[in-house]
Amino acid sequence: MNATQQLQVTHGYFDIVMYARAYINEAKIITPTKGPKYCAINASILDVGADGKAQYRTIDLIASGEQVKGVLRGLMPRWPKDRMEHSGPRWVADINIGSIRAEAYLKKDGNVGAVFKGRLINIRALRIADEQIVGDGWTDDIPPPTVVAPGFINQIDPEKGIIRFAAQDGKIGESESRNITLSLSGDIPAIRELIARGLVPRGYAHRATNPHLFANLAISGLFCEGFKGKDGKPAAALKGVLTEVRYLKVNGDIIVAGKSRETAAAA
């Protein structure tokens, strides 16, 4: 990870960011009845499963920021136009996705599905067929998609190997929570230290007595799934694997020091 991927609190905002390679399946301009028009993108995040086979996770994106809009504007005549029947040259890109979340929907068979949503905030590299459009280097090896997110650890269950994390996105003081259930990828030293010191939050119901844990986490294998909530309405959940604790502040004391002073100040 580079320095950009370390800084998840910038200019007074919390940022949940995914770094991934993706197929760009479709790009189009949407003109809503209210509000300004925008560029909507459908993409497939690429990953490699334990069996070595490629995995694809669909995400709906909105182009955000001058870098992304500038790249797309210059390529508008070549945009992929139909994600279901696309027959033109393949668009493959290394991208940064901000404000990632899961949104539920009702399938035709009555079951609940879920899809990723987010903002396309950076195009680090782009190839159309064999033509390199953005970026200097390229490798055919698929980099594992990684999410870096600031937020609060609300529960650690050592027996089940589960962590419940409330990732924060948006303006500090007005941020939105994205609840993510995490399993552990091997031994995580910072989590092991928390357990050894008895600094183990027991869930939201015990928030009054829980230790206050603010962290910046690296997460792999993020996926979303749909379900019916207690009210019977469609709902969506985010799940993933905790691979690294990059910053950790416990009851005001820094346990793991990251590179971002702004992260420390925000906590």
* Amino acid identity at 10: T
Spatial separation of the C-alpha atoms in residues 212 and 94, rounded to whole Å: 35
The pLDDT assigned to 79 comes to 95
Between the alpha carbon of residue 247 and those of residues 6, 121, 187, the distances in Å are: 9, 23, 16
Per CATH, which fold does 146-266 belong to? OB fold (Dihydrolipoamide Acetyltransferase, E2P) (2.40.50)
> Any bridge partners for residue 148, and if so which?
17, 218
| CATH number of this structure's domain 8-134, picked from the four choices 3.20.20, 2.60.40, 1.10.10, 2.40.50 | 2.40.50
Q: Say how many Å lie between the first and final Cα of the chain, rounded.
A: 22
pTM of the complete model: 0.88
What stretch(es) of the chain map to CATH 2.40.50?
8-134, 146-266
Residue owning tokens 């994600």: 83
At 204, is the pLDDT very low, low, confident or very high (cuts 50, 70, 90)? confident
Q: Estimate the share of the chain in helix, then strand, then coil, as percent rounded to the nearest 5.
A: 10, 55, 35
Mean pLDDT of 75-99: 89
Higher pLDDT residue, 153 or 205? Answer: 153
Nearest to 240 by CA among 182, 186, 168, 167: 182
